[in-house]
Structure 1
Amino acid sequence: MMASISDVSQLACTVSATGISAPSYADVLAYLQSAYQGIYGSDVVLDNSTQDGQWLGILAQAITASNASMIAAFNSFSPATAQGTALSSVVKINGLARAAASYSSCDVVITGTVGRTITNGSVRDTVYGYIWSLPASVVIPAAGSITVTATCTTIGSVLVGIGSLTVINTPTLGWTSVTNASASAPGSPVQSDASLRQQQSESTMLPSQTIMDGLLGAILALPGVNSAEGYENDTNVTDANGIPPNSIAIIVDGGDATQIATVIANKKTMGTPTYGTTTETITDSAGNSRTINFFRPTVDAITVQLGLLALSGYTDAIGSAIAAQVAAYISGLPAGSTIYTTRLYAQATLPNAEGGLTYDLTSIQMALNGGTMSTNNIVLPFNALPSCPVSNVTITATGSS
């Protein structure tokens, strides 16, 4: 911001090596008042009780609004500062598009007669009774079963656990059973600006010199993919994560299994085996069948207990805001994360303006999958995502003495 205006040219925005800046409304108004009195005399009264003072205020507001528009236009050319439609436009240079509201998806294993084709098939879950559509055409291979991705026909977040998609909704001759070996990847609302900026940043890894970075960047660019993590074992022995020698393991949340496997097949180093619990058979350009394995993440439930001393002004609404902030932080961590107890203190501390001065944190404990609460850090398996809904965060507030 400009401290003061000494020249009429300084009423407009200024672009420098540090970016764009503009004078404040108060500085613009002060300059207009000074210039006006320079013309008509210093004894002219220009406060809000006078018509001339009000007119100068209107002019200052117009100049300030024009400057704000120019700053917004300037910032719209960078993914780091663009917002809304401008951000949607600028990320196109990376071949990206803002994700629309999406449907939940889940990998299912279809079993039946070899060679049988299932056309426009669908299954039903035993939890909510929602219908999940299969790809338009599914052919049972020689193995007698095939893994495909089923998409919920109801938009939004639909969560079903392992073994919940077992009802054949469109009975077809030769189709004998269906089940899911992993939980569903929930759908999501329209992609937020923050998420799109992160995707744009990660997408720049596509032309990278590191094979793994390029592979993950390509997977993250697929529709419906929420997250992707990669591990490489370049040793001659099985590593601590159980990944076989000289293999890679990719963990992908969301997205179509066939598309993901195709990207892995195309991007990985030739001759490198893939490791995972989801298996897809990809046919390359030469007509050769290649088996690609990857992981769908398991979900580990995290529960948190917060102890605090309630000070003057503390309310249940402030407690709910604390719980929401802690839950969002944990649920946003990637697969294989370590959840540090001490770092939750920062997440449980609200800004002063939002009630941060109305309580004092006294303790934080966590538990994994319903285990015993403790102050220990939680180390997730490399293929596990943390889940912490707000209902998993309990706050115990004691009054000040």
Structure 2
Amino acid sequence: MMYFAPYIDASGLHIPSYTDVRDQLLSDARSIFGQDIYLESDSQDYQWISVVANIVYDSFLTSQAVYNARGPSTAIGSALDIIVKINGIKRLPAAYSTCYVTLTGSVGTIITGGVVADINGYEWTLTTPISIGSSGQATALATCKSPGPITANVGEINKITTPTFGWTAVTNPGTAVTGAYAETDAQLRSRQAISTAQSSQTVLEGVKGAIAAVSGVQRSVVYENDKNVTDANGLPPHSISAVVEGGSDDAIAQAIYNKKGLGCYTNGNVPVQITDLYGVAAVIRFSRPAYVDIDVTINLKQLSGYTTQTTTDIKSAIVAFINSLTIGDSLTLSSLWGAALSANSVPNKPTFSITGVTAARHGQPLGTIDIAIAYNEVTRGNVANIVVNVS
């Protein structure tokens, strides 16, 4: 193409390419200094023109970024944060995993500034101070120091990082409530699109939008069974079933109550009583997702440039993909190939080739078939469950 001045029409902003700008400057130079001027790539004049062309093109790219920042589908970063405020939502910050732990030791021991660790090396800070009671035990809330979906199954928080005289052991009788990474642009765009459904004429879409707008909600899905019989998921007739991750029980139940249709049964294992302005009580039900930990083994052949960091990047990419799936999404094995290959920092010069991928629910035999996920389940990745075999 030939150089043209940037312009805006019905299809959007149009800008010339770097090559167009450079070629135009070369043509202008020849018209000024003569057609016999030497402007091959090894000349100083060509190098100078290339630098100027790059600066001009950078300016065009900036104008394109500003133009794209006008709407949520193309805005990024802080521009997207500003736009979604119109819909009354904001980007979810990083959240830290939490877990109640049981401390064992001598009666009367005071633990101040306690820190414990799990089997994967993550450290967790304890509420402070903690006093061990007459039973020789105390319960404390442990908060992971690292943000994100850090998992801890029963018994995995078992190391004392800050020894205190009289404190002998720590364990977690229950699983941790996983945190989350800061919401990405893609996730925020998706939530913004759902939130605009609150004013829709479809009751179901309105319920979805109201739940998505609740503070702290990370992922959610709402199923409707409008039939007279129980459906394939086991959901009762004439009901809606919301499965929600994050957010407070009361706020979620209130959102459902405000938007659900008359006479519609709300199905779930988390019951919350709502009282309206006239003192009439109603029970709203929804569910929390059941987490499915995924084991993955990647067999690969290392190529030139492969390092131990590449192994770490592969594991992180796979975990990020598994954690990006929505509630009820089954895991296809082929998608794990793509997630692993994304760890190649230079796509056209790979540092490894994959020879095999197997996966399964945690603790089950690995295989090559897709992993089915129930309507109320969601996959969860953990680097400790990812194995990379290098040959």
TM-score strictly above 0.5: yes
Q: Distance in 2 between matches of 1:126 and 1:293?
A: 36
Aligned position for 2:103: none
Q: Does structure 1 retain, via aligned residues, the 8 Å contact 2:98–2:144?
A: no
Check if 1:211 corresponds to 2:209.
Answer: no
- Cα distance, 1:379–1:54 mapped onto 2, change above 3 Å: closer
Shift of 1:57: 5.3
- Cα distance, 1:45–1:212 mapped onto 2, change above 3 Å: same
Aligned position for 2:212: 220
Range with bigger deviation, 319-328 or 370-379 = 319-328
Q: Distance in 2 between matches of 1:364 and 1:342?
A: 8
Write the mapping of 1:81-100 to structure 2, written as runs, cut at 5 A. Answer: 81-100=74-93
Aligned position for 1:302: 294
Q: Does structure 2 retain, via aligned residues, the 8 Å contact 1:349–1:356?
A: no
Q: Over residues 2-51 of structure 1, what are the superposed CA-to-partner deviations in whole Å (9 max), with x where a residue is unaligned?
A: x222xxxx2x3233444323223343233233224323433445679988
Shift of 1:260: 0.3
Aligned position for 2:231: 239
Write the mapping of 1:27-106 to structure 2, written as runs, cut at 5 A. Answer: 27-44=20-37, 56=49, 59-102=52-95
Write the mapping of 1:2-401 to structure 2, written as runs, cut at 5 A. Answer: 3-5=1-3, 10=4, 12-44=5-37, 56=49, 59-102=52-95, 128=124, 130-131=126-127, 156-157=147-148, 185-311=177-303, 314-350=306-342, 353-354=346-347, 357-398=350-391
- Give the % identical residues: 34
Across the two proteins, how many residue pairs are aligned to each other?
342
- Cα distance, 1:219–1:38 mapped onto 2, change above 3 Å: same
- In structure 1, the gaps of 5 or more residues are 108-124, 133-149, 165-179
Q: Does structure 2 retain, via aligned residues, the 8 Å contact 1:251–1:296?
A: yes
Q: Over residues 153-211 of structure 1, what are the superposed CA-to-partner deviations in whole Å (9 max), with x where a residue is unaligned?
A: 989457566899xxxxxxxxxxxxxxx99965434444322221222222233233332
Q: Distance in 2 between matches of 1:152 and 1:373?
A: 32
Q: Distance in 2 between matches of 1:347 and 1:19?
A: 33
Question: Normalization by structure 1: what TM-score?
Answer: 0.72
Aligned position for 2:107: none
Range with bigger deviation, 36-45 or 244-253 = 36-45
SS of 2:379's equivalent in the other structure is strand
- Cα distance, 1:362–1:162 mapped onto 2, change above 3 Å: closer
Q: Does structure 2 retain, via aligned residues, the 8 Å contact 1:280–1:291?
A: yes
SS of 1:338's equivalent in the other structure is coil
Shift of 1:58: 5.8
Q: Distance in 2 between matches of 1:90 and 1:51?
A: 46
**RMSD of equivalent CA atoms:** 3.7
What amino acid is aligned across from residue 194 of structure 1 in structure 2?
A
Q: Does structure 2 retain, via aligned residues, the 8 Å contact 1:101–1:155?
A: no
Q: Distance in 2 between matches of 1:86 and 1:26?
A: 29
Q: Distance in 1 between matches of 2:18 and 2:231?
A: 62
Q: Does structure 1 retain, via aligned residues, the 8 Å contact 2:301–2:354?
A: yes
Q: Distance in 2 between matches of 1:105 and 1:293?
A: 24
- Cα distance, 1:291–1:346 mapped onto 2, change above 3 Å: same
SS of 2:78's equivalent in the other structure is helix
- In structure 2, the gaps of 5 or more residues are 101-115, 119-123, 129-140, 157-171
- Cα distance, 1:320–1:261 mapped onto 2, change above 3 Å: same
Aligned position for 1:139: none
Q: Over residues 198-240 of structure 1, what are the superposed CA-to-partner deviations in whole Å (9 max), with x where a residue is unaligned?
A: 2222223323333222211111111111000112222333334
- Cα distance, 1:203–1:365 mapped onto 2, change above 3 Å: same
Q: Distance in 2 between matches of 1:49 and 1:224?
A: 58
SS of 1:218's equivalent in the other structure is helix
Aligned position for 1:142: none
Q: Does structure 1 retain, via aligned residues, the 8 Å contact 2:125–2:143?
A: no
Q: Distance in 1 between matches of 2:370 and 2:189?
A: 30
Q: Does structure 2 retain, via aligned residues, the 8 Å contact 1:105–1:151?
A: yes
Range with bigger deviation, 52-61 or 14-23 = 52-61
What amino acid is aligned across from residue 89 of structure 1 in structure 2?
I
Q: Distance in 1 between matches of 2:143 and 2:307?
A: 40
Q: Does structure 2 retain, via aligned residues, the 8 Å contact 1:103–1:151?
A: no
Q: Distance in 2 between matches of 1:326 and 1:300?
A: 15
Shift of 1:354: 4.5
Question: Normalization by structure 2: what TM-score?
Answer: 0.74
Shift of 1:262: 0.1
What amino acid is aligned across from residue 275 of structure 1 in structure 2?
N
